[in-house]
Structure 1
């Protein structure tokens, strides 16, 4: 395993870590605790030491599964959780210091720990990033020993740039992949200046960048790739990175032509992200233990060449830079 520093937290985290949105099974299925333990242990056995979760993942079952896992291992693992998405309706007005404090205490209980390694605001409305009292509450929680580090998970570049103006924000979790390249511009520059840890989510554009989908691929009713393509339930940027599905398939075909000797496009897509030294860790999900091992093949992947990087950039500019950049 290779490690990078998670910004000013100083924590050394595995380059490829584990996102646990679907760790108990496929999206939209009942949570399977036995399967979750298999996936978590596979990740640990492969050297992953950073696990990302949230209080809303399977209504807290993801956090409970991680708690059970931690009891069985002696290694040091860093767990990042998120809070705020329970607020319903999910509006700026719903965010208060008291509400967030309760969510932190609830996560501590489900994870069965005394302190959270990293607590992230979970994609709050943009207005929340302009409210100092929200961020001040986490200084209090840190002083009380309930939180070690504060981070944010964002949808928009604007939110990321505003968040890192608060001194106590140590990390930003953001969507960044071959189809969502805008963070590599101003945000990465500012994150580097301020020593902010960058956690990359949705690295494979909800599976599009595996190269395994086609126009006839189907997804079950409970899968966000079925019900959220236009942002019906949450930000559409979380589903296929917000791009048109058919357009994405055409772009994937062109990417395959750039990398004709690579059998697994997903590994190339992960390597592309790791080519940016501002990235601290990438958190692909896994619904089966073998997916963890497959993702870690990237550690043996050679660096992409300048011409390959340029080709990927050209495909992005051809299909996406003018159609989605203004959204995020």
Structure 2
């Protein structure tokens, strides 16, 4: 495993880490603590030391599983969780310092930990990034020892640029993959200048970039890849990175020709992300332990060639850019 600095946190984190949205099972399935324990321990055994969760994943069950992992292992594990999405309705007005403080304390109870390494605002409405009192509350939580660092999880590049103006924001979590190529144009440069850690989520575009989907692939009724394709439940960009499914499939076929059949496309897609030095870590999810080991193949691959990088960019420019580039 290779490790990179997570910005100003100083944490040395595994460049391939773990996101736990579906760690208890596939999307839509009931949370399974037995399965979660297998996935989490497989990850740590393989050298992963950064785990990203949220209070809404499995309605707190993911946090409980992550806390159990940390308490059971001797390795130094870094835990990132998120707060804000429990607000109903999820509006800018609902974001209040006292409410966010309560969410942090609830997460500490879920995980049975004394402090959270990294707490992240969980894709709040854009207006929240213009309210200093929200960010100031996390300074107080840090002084009390309840958190170590503050980060943000964003939908839009503009939100990240605004967030890192606050001096206590140390990380930005964002969607970045072969189908979402806008961030390097400005956000990556500003993050590097300010020593901000970049955590990449949705690296495989909700599975599209595994190359395993087809027009006949069925997603269950409770799977966001079925019910959120047009943003019915949350931001459309979280599902297939905002790419139309059929267009995405066509682009994937072209990507397969670029890389050939020797290595799974998923591993090449992860390796593509790691070609960007500004990225601290990428957090693919896993619904079973074998997916952890599959994802880790990316760390062993050689660097992509200039020709491969250019080919990926050309496929993006031709097929994907018009539908996503200026929306997020």
Normalising by structure 1, what TM-score? 0.99
- Matches of 1:193 and 1:165, distance apart in 2: 12
| Equivalent residue number for residue 222 of structure 1 | 222
- Give the Cα–Cα distance (whole angstroms) in 2 for the partners of residues 40 and 75 of structure 1: 13
The structural deviation recorded for 1:71 is 2.3
**1:103-159 alpha-carbon deviations (Å, 9 max, x no partner):** 000001111111110000000000000100000000111111111000000000010
1:91 aligns with 2:91: yes
Give secondary structure in 1 for the equivalent of 2:172. Answer: strand
**Deviates further, 64-73 or 298-307:** 64-73
Instruction: Confirm or deny: 8 A CA contact 1:79 1:118 kept in the other structure.
Output: yes
* Structure 2 counterparts to residues 1-328 of structure 1, below 5 A: 1-328=1-328
What SS class does the counterpart of residue 148 from structure 1 fall into? strand
Q: So what's the TM-score if we normalise by structure 2?
A: 0.99
Q: CA deviation at 1:261?
A: 4.1
SS of residue matched to 2:279: coil
CA offset digits 1:222-262 (Å, max 9, x no partner): 11001100000000100000000000000000001111143
Aligned-pair CA distance for 1:312:
0.2
CA distance in 1, matches of 2:90, 2:327: 19
* Separation of aligned partners in 2, 1:224 and 1:239: 7
* Partners of 1:71 and 1:12 in 2: CA distance: 20
Shift of 1:216: 0.6
Is the CA contact (8 Å cut-off) linking 1:262 and 1:268 kept in structure 2? no
What SS does structure 2 have at the residue aligned with 1:86? Answer: coil
Cα distance in 2 for partners of 1:130, 1:266 equals: 37
Flag structure 1 segments of 5+ consecutive residues without an equivalent.
none
Deviation at 1:326, TM superposition (A): 1.7
CA distance in 2, matches of 1:216, 1:150: 42
Q: Structure 2 CA distance, aligned partners of 1:131 and 1:319?
A: 37
SS in 1 for 2:25: coil
Deviation digits for residues 167-202 of structure 1 (CA, Å, limit 9, x no counterpart): 000000000000000011100000000000000000
Per-residue deviation, residues 38-87 of structure 1 (Å, max 9, x unmatched) = 00000000000000000000100000111222222111100000000000
CA distance in 2: counterparts of 1:55 and 1:68, whole angstroms:
15
Secondary structure of the 1:286 match is: coil
